[in-house]
Structure 1
Amino acid sequence: MKSKKIVITGGPGTGKSSIIHKLEDKGEKCLHEISRQVTLEAQKEGIDQLFLENPLLFSEKLLEGRLNQYHEANALNSDHIFMDRGLPDVVAYMDYFNTNYPDIFDHTCTNHRYELIFILPPWKEIYKSDNERYESFEEALKISSYLYSTYRRYGYDPIEVPKLTVEERTDFILDMI
C-alpha cells in the first residue's frame, strides 16, 4: 500500500516539531525533520553552521535526506504518514538566501508529490531561537513567505493551521485528513 504523504511545514519556530510529537502521541506515524541532524553532524566535523558556510552542500544533504524519507514513507504500512517538512522546503530556503542550485532540486520537487500540505504561520509569541535555529523572528517571517510561494509554485494549496494550542492544532490537522 502506498502511504498518503502529509507535510507539516512552516517557518522556523512555528511549532512543527511540537505538532509532530503530539501526532506521534496519538499513534500517528511521523518522520522527523532532518536539518538539525545535518547541522549537528557538520558541527562534529568542526563546521559551526554548514548552511551559512556552504549552503549548497547543506541543501544537497537535506534534499537527499528528505528524498530518502519520501521513499521511506512509501514503504511504511500505513494509510498516511506525517512528515516534518518536505522537499520544496529545501528550494524555498535556497530561494530565500538567493543561492543558485542545480536543476535536480526542481526536478526532485516536481516528480515527488505529497497528498496534503499543512503550513504553520509565523507566531511571535511562541518563537524561540536556539543553537540550531539562528534566524530572527523577522527572518522567520520572510522564510515563511518563501515557503508559501514555493509550495504554490509546485502546484500545492497549503492548508494554514490556525494559531491554537498544540492539541487543538493537532486535532485540526487530523480533522482535515
Structure 2
Amino acid sequence: MHQRFVLVTGCSGGGKSTLIEELARRGHRTVEEPGRRIVREELAGEGSALPWIDLAAFARRAIRMAVADWRRAHGRPGDEGWIFFDRGVIDAASAFQVATGRRVLAPLARRYRYRPLVFLAPPWPEIHAGDAERRHGFAAATEEYERLANELPALGYETRLLPKAPVAERASFMLAALERG
C-alpha cells in the first residue's frame, strides 16, 4: 500500500541522502535516489544521460528507475513499516517536464502515489556542496525546490518542511510526524 511510501524531496544538497542513511541506520527500509545511481552508472560507462549533458535523457531514465523502485516496494505486501524514498517518480517527472515541455507529471503522479504527507528539504546554503554527481549550483537547486514545493500541493500532497537541524533531529522529526498521522 502506498501509505507506507514516504517521499523525501526538496532542495538538491539539502541533506536528503544523509537523512535517508540515518533512517536506514535506524532499521527502516529506504530507497536510494535514482539520480545519483544514474549519474554513477553513466560516469562509469562514459554515458551521456547526465543532467548537465542531456537532461531529457537523464530524466527519462530517472522516471523508469523511480517507477521500478516504486513497483518493487509495492510488490512486497507482507512488509510492515515505512519505506523512505530519496526522491521518486514526482521528482523525475517534474525534471522531464522542464527538459521537454511534455506534460507527464500529473498522470504519473496519479498512478504512482506516495503517502499524502511529503517531507521537503529546504534550501540550506550552509550544507549545500557540489560533487562529481551534483554539478549544479545553489541557485539551480533552489529553483528546483521552489518548483517541487509548488507542484506537490497541486498533486494532492501535504508538504512538511524539514527543520534545519542535525540529521538525528531531522529523522526524529519525520518519524514523530508520521506517527501522529
TM-score by length of 1: 0.89
Contact 2:93 2:105 in 1 (8 A): yes
User: In the alignment, is residue 90 of structure 1 matched against residue 108 of structure 2?
Assistant: no
Compared CA separation, residues 75 and 103, structure 1 to 2 (3 A): same
Matching residue's letter, 1:86: G
Compared CA separation, residues 3 and 79, structure 1 to 2 (3 A): farther
| SS at 1:158 equivalent | strand
Q: Which runs of 4+ in 1 moved over 6 A?
A: none
Give a deviation string over 1:147-173, Cα, whole Å, max 9, x none.
Answer: 111212211111111111100000000
Matching residue's letter, 2:123: P
| SS at 2:99 equivalent | coil
Matching residue's letter, 1:64: R
| SS at 1:50 equivalent | coil
| SS at 2:5 equivalent | strand
**Aligned position for 2:39:** 39
Matches within 5 A, 1:71-110: 71-76=71-76, 77-95=79-97, 98-100=98-100, 102-110=102-110
CA deviation after TM superposition for structure 1 residue 104, in Å: 4.7
**Aligned position for 2:166:** 165
Give a deviation string over 1:18-77, Cα, whole Å, max 9, x none.
Answer: 111111111111111121221122223323662232222211110011011111221331
**Aligned position for 1:67:** 67
Q: Distance in 2 between matches of 1:157 and 1:54?
A: 31
| SS at 2:169 equivalent | helix
User: In the alignment, is residue 22 of structure 1 matched against residue 31 of structure 2?
Assistant: no
Q: Distance in 2 between matches of 1:23 and 1:79?
A: 12
Matching residue's letter, 2:159: P
Q: Matched residue pairs, number?
A: 175
**Aligned position for 2:153:** 152
Matching residue's letter, 2:88: G
| SS at 2:52 equivalent | helix
Q: Distance in 2 between matches of 1:50 and 1:120?
A: 23
User: In the alignment, is residue 174 of structure 1 matched against residue 175 of structure 2?
Assistant: yes
CA deviation after TM superposition for structure 1 residue 93, in Å: 2.6
Matching residue's letter, 1:145: E
Q: Distance in 1 between matches of 2:172 and 2:39?
A: 31
